[in-house]
Amino acid sequence: MKITSNFSTRFRTTCSSFRRDERGTFATIFGVTAVAVFLSAGVAFDYTRLAQSKSIINSALDAAVLSAGNRMAEGEPVNGNFRKDFEDFFLANVEGRFGVPDNVKIDNFSADPATGKISASASAEVTMAFMGIAGSPTVVTGAKSEAVFSNDSVEVAMMLDVTGSMGGQKIQDLKAAASEAVDILLPTTNASGKTRISLVPYSSAVNAGPYAKKASSNPSFECVTERGGSQKFSDASPNSGKMGAASSYCPAQSVVPLNYDPAVLKSTINSFQASGSTAGHLGVAWSYYTLSPKWGGIWPAKAKPANYKAPKTRKIAILMTDGEFNTAYTPGWSSANFAEEICNQMRKDGITIYSVGFQAPTQAEKTLTDCASNANNGGKLFYSASNGAELKAAFADIAKSIQSLRLSR
């Protein structure tokens, strides 16, 4: 009995000790938890890569569809080369991007000039680094895009500030922004002339170039100031009221009337030099004149503006400055007030006005806001850019909105 009692006692003591011994428990729990955390992180990584690939593919497809729609609107024939150019454009925007597989492809593409619709879909098979453990070694992702275009004729006047305050980096930023807008609005294959752009560089005056002979009160000077008298705010023919002449502070670059050759336009933009003060109302006025059918007699045949009420024709002005309108030549009128009156007349004639302030002071932004047309959301078609990247983005956004292409899916 004594032996049995001692054995029972030792057995109960051993069991009790075993229950209290927690050595190794943490390692076991950590091992199980680590596996779960590792797998969760791996799945999150896979999904992040999948989402990134889908985003890049979707963005590239939208851009390719819009580019193709622009080309089709300009009359480029829809054939095998058209499809190839579409695919090349798309692939150029996805190849080499981090996280995008090299097996991305166009699944479907259609372009119908009769309906104005372009649609496409693309996909890629993304290899999963961790989801394969769960039986999904690859996942297919993709995107669909559809655009409807309008074949309206578009006339765009770009008023560009080349005053002294635009010197240095700012004039380079303007050149880059305006040139990109030209690229968006005018594809290199453009030959239809449905989209035409005029350029109106301005500072203390406007260089009317060869057109000063018909527009200026003193044709020996190419640089002109504002009109006087009853026609000072109107777009009446220059025969109804001549411009004043300026003998100094004339921009080196003259006005370019409506033109659909991107090389000519970009060459002019790249030649911009900054000097002089800000007679912004003169830039506004000459933007008006390049869009006015009443000035058709002064411009070359290819630059003659359409009538205001011509069917399927839109007239648009882009007004840009970096400073307050501070130089005028008519007693009793400020450049800002002069500009606002001309803008009122432009809008009455159906001209849509976008405006862009580039590091502009408050008063300049007020003038630009007052000049701008109303946006669909009730605001104004006004942009404020504080650096070169924002200026470029503003011009690109305006150019894209001018295109009568609308993503419908």
pLDDT tens, residue by residue, 297-306: 999 999 999 9
pLDDT band at 406 (very low <50, low <70, confident <90, very high): low
- Is residue 129 located within the same domain as residue 204? no
Return the higher-pLDDT residue of 10 and 309: 309
Q: Which of 131, 149, 167 is the last residue of a domain?
A: 149
How confident is the model over 320-349, as pLDDT tens digits? Answer: 999 999 999 999 999 999 999 999 999 999
- Is residue 181 located within the same domain as residue 310? yes
> Which residue type does 30 have?
F
Backbone angles phi, psi at 360, to 5 degrees: -85, 145
Q: Which of 31-45, 224-238, 317-331 has the lowest mean pLDDT?
A: 31-45
* C-alpha–C-alpha distance, residues 125 and 90, integer Å: 17
Q: How many structural domains are present in the chain?
A: 2
- Asked if the structure places residue 16 within a domain, the reply is no
Q: Got the DSSP string for 254-307?
A: PPEEEE--HHHHHHHHHT----S---HHHHHHHHHHHH-GGGTTTS-GGGPPPP
* CATH code for position 301: 3.40.50.410
pLDDT score for 121:
95
Q: What is the mean pLDDT of residues 32-58?
A: 66
- Is residue 39 located within the same domain as residue 67? yes
- Asked if the structure places residue 353 within a domain, the reply is yes
* Order of strands, sheet of 313-321, starting from the edge strand that comes earlier in the sequence: 256-259, 195-202, 153-161, 313-321, 352-358, 382-385
> Which residue type does 323 have?
G
* C-alpha–C-alpha distance, residues 336 and 103, integer Å: 57
* C-alpha–C-alpha distance, residues 364 and 344, integer Å: 17
- Is residue 104 located within the same domain as residue 161? no
> Which residue type does 392 have?
K
pLDDT band at 101 (very low <50, low <70, confident <90, very high): low
Rg of the Cα atoms in the chain: 32
- Is residue 192 located within the same domain as residue 91? no
Q: Is the pTM of this model over 0.85?
A: no
N- to C-terminal Cα separation, the chain = 90
Whole domain around residue 96: which residue ranges?
29-149
- Is residue 241 located within the same domain as residue 323? yes
Other beta carbons less than 10 A from residue 67's beta carbon: 21
* C-alpha–C-alpha distance, residues 332 and 40, integer Å: 73
pLDDT band at 141 (very low <50, low <70, confident <90, very high): confident
Q: Which of 101, 127, 149 is the last residue of a domain?
A: 149
- Is residue 237 located within the same domain as residue 115? no
Q: Which of 118, 149, 180 is the last residue of a domain?
A: 149
